[in-house]
Chains A and B, each alone.
Chain A
């Protein structure tokens, strides 16, 4: 029986790439394969994550399979892909362009720059199959020399079903169920997320449409990106809306569910997304979507949200107002989202797609 190694630089909780890795492991184990996850760093204890330097010795036959998730610069990881003499699958999650981090974190600039350069190296290893989280990502792979007949789109496995089935944090629900319009954005406090535009749109909504409005910024804040968070807070302060914006930091699934339940809309102004998992979560949680069309966002949201090509904060504010005033439109959008989630982004749908695509490339999972 062949062995499968899934390799990613970091495995952390509340992280889209890690969720994809662990769900893949779950699926393959369920189908009776011997699967191990290898990573350079991890903060998880369950399931067992093996140190990445053991990956090569674990893979010992030409029929074994290495699945490498590329989401950041990692020389040692690429070296493993180069050296391994087994069959190889690459999952490409896209990498934030380094320019976003300039002047904020030199470490991120370096990791992102090398990560983008490594795409070419990885393709030169001639993997058997390349999976991109979106067509937007796939374009990167094709541009770097990947062959059309080996490159496919596969959305990332996600935790939206866990959100649907899990419990919600009642304290949060109680705390914020005060009749305010609650808006939500989900994603790490990172410079590519375009928070300045979001704050501006929220401020316009707050001052021009509705003083009973609140914005939840759900996402991890790291020390390395502290200068960005600091500037962001200065900006919020200059709009004088500090008391209306809640930064939650890293939170549990129970809390995340509560925020989705509270939200009247999910708003995102991110400037770079390889897929944008929060959109899929919002669809699953029946929350309408308002967004600027950037990178993979229009592709993921499709016709299930108000997605704007023009970056005009008044459009976002007016969209929020419209969703609150026009119940049938909101219901129709939410229904489309729910359907899109079921058909395209539920783990069940992705599982089916994964098995089909890998089978086409000759893998028998």
Chain B
């Protein structure tokens, strides 16, 4: 599951990694021993994995393929003193040219020579005797002086063929006379070819059989190695199991005496584990602080009730007797005035509770880099701008922004600071804006004043008026801090409900924003030195961040 970023508190890291890993190591050893003594089938599976390691390198193809005799359709001619012409004429095509070279010149043919004679032979311009003659009576052939019986006779005859006219007649006459011999030769060649084909087929069959045998043999080899490894490891495992059983028996005996010893100790009273004095001290501090808070809260409440009472009476007294005589427009005006009844109350509340403008200005500077990083410099709307601290900070940093607020006193104050502000109700104002017209909407300590439905509408209107990639920044009290959640939040009577971080994140994301960051802000400075889990928790829940901000982006593009 995704880790909730809000739960991650980077300020507290008392993790001793080495200690943690030692603990894991011990636990793993225990687990391993249990698995061994349980006779778990897991171990046999582990063996398979180890066999896999053995097997893997052997999956390779054989480096040296098995040897198998090559097929030779035309056996080589042995070296002799003297050759018969027929010895040589029994070879065909390339093998003939090669054999002729070997016999007549005593060497392998060079590439050019082989190509030339093979070409002539295949085209029919030369027959085998022509080639033998040409080789034999070349300067190299004369030097080697190999005797081929019958070659002279035939070659002399072949020379006659080259005499004009007579040669041609002679060729025809010889051809006619040799016709029966040629037919016989042709038949011989036919059966020779069939026999050769048969030999090729037999050779292929033998090769196939040979290679499948070799492959089978290789596989057998692999499984034998694998088997041997398995067997060896099984033996090792048996030994391990035996010694394990021995050590378990002694451990069992030790455990038994330990249990008896502890049973004895159980009768004695237990020592208190926690430092009571420290806890007492904490509690006293806590109660004092709480009392102070309650006192202030009561004071504020009383003051508030009195002011409210006074104002209600004033309003009642003002317009009830005259209502019947007034024009509906006039009544509406008075109703609108009604909305502003608490303006001055809120103004003084903010003066009392929120902090001095200087403090607030310091605090909100934290958002400048957020805008800068998003490349936003203008079209910024601050909803609920209050006394305009944020607008001032923006102006000083050269950003273009305007603010809206419902509180006339605050608007007047902002105007006196020459800030661009408009007196308006947030939703109404946003609805009047064009779609995708803003780069950023900011609202600090605003959301908690709205009922849920209005807040949702506010989110939707912000989403509509923001450009794709535009930012929505909302700051609100953080109820995760117990004092804020239980008390400080309610110091402002116009607050509706505190919004916990997960709820805020969910609402913002549910309305289509991408939650880019949760900024936790305004941690109380006086925290207790962390000694243990208790003090760390107290720190977190009492002195932890009092406010937080959600930075959400309208999806669509990285920068507006």
Contact = CB atoms under 8 A, between A and B. Distances in A.
A308 B55 CA distance: 26
B17 A203 contact: no
B197 interface: no
B2 interface: yes
A312 B46 CA distance: 12
Nearest to A207: B42
B45 A239 contact: yes
B304 to A, nearest CB: 41
The number of chain B residues touching the other chain, given as a range, is 35 or more
Interface in B24-38: 24-25, 27-29, 31-32, 35
A135 to B, nearest CB: 20
- Looking at chain A's contact residues, the main secondary structure is helix
B24 A306 contact: yes
Contacts of B35: 208
Nearest to B536: A328
A182 B3 CA distance: 13
Interface string A76-118: 0000000000000000000000000011100000000000000
B48 A239 contact: yes
A315 B20 contact: no
A231 B555 CA distance: 44
Interface string B173-213: 00000000000000000000000000000000000000000
A200 B49 contact: yes
A322 interface: yes
Report which residue of B24, B61, B514 has the largest number of chain A beta carbons within 10 angstroms of its beta carbon: B24
B3 A231 contact: no
A329 interface: yes
Nearest to A286: B3
A365 B516 CA distance: 30
Contact of A331 (B8, B45, B533): B8
Contacts of A128: none
A235 B49 CA distance: 7
Contacts of B503: none
B21 interface: yes
B13 interface: yes
B254 interface: no
Contacts of A336: 13, 15
A303 interface: yes
A59 interface: no
Contacts of A203: 42, 45
Contacts of A315: 24-25, 28
Contacts of A317: 28, 31
B24 A334 contact: no
Given A103-B61, A319-B24, A338-B10, A333 B32 contact: no
Contact of A318 (B5, B24, B48, B553): B24
B15 A103 contact: no
A175 to B, nearest CB: 14
B57 A102 contact: yes
B14 interface: yes
B533 to A, nearest CB: 8
Contact of B8 (A262, A303, A338): A338
Given A314-B32, A331-B7, A335-B13, A231 B1 contact: no
A227 interface: yes
Contacts of A144: none
Contact of A334 (B8, B25, B40, B48): B8
A339 interface: yes
B59 A104 contact: yes
Contacts of A329: 15, 20
Interface string A191-209: 0000010011001100111
B372 interface: no
A286 B17 contact: no
Nearest to A287: B3
B493 to A, nearest CB: 37
A167 B3 contact: no
Nearest to A327: B7
A287 B5 CA distance: 11
Nearest to A312: B28
Contact of A102 (B3, B10, B60): B60
A281 interface: no
A332 interface: yes
B108 to A, nearest CB: 33
B56 A231 contact: yes
Contacts of A314: 28-29, 31-32
B109 to A, nearest CB: 36
Contacts of A326: 20
A264 interface: yes
Nearest to B11: A335
19 contacts: A102-B57, A103-B58, A196-B53, A196-B56, A208-B42, A231-B55, A231-B56, A239-B45, A239-B49, A286-B2, A306-B20, A314-B28, A318-B28, A321-B27, A331-B9, A332-B13, A333-B15, A336-B13, A339-B10
Q: Top 10 closest A-B pairs, CB basis?
A: A103-B60, A332-B15, A318-B28, A314-B28, A261-B2, A286-B3, A335-B10, A200-B49, A238-B48, A314-B32
Given A103-B58, A239-B49, A328-B533, 15 more contacts: A104-B59, A165-B516, A203-B42, A203-B45, A227-B59, A262-B1, A262-B2, A286-B2, A315-B24, A322-B20, A322-B23, A328-B15, A331-B8, A333-B15, A339-B10
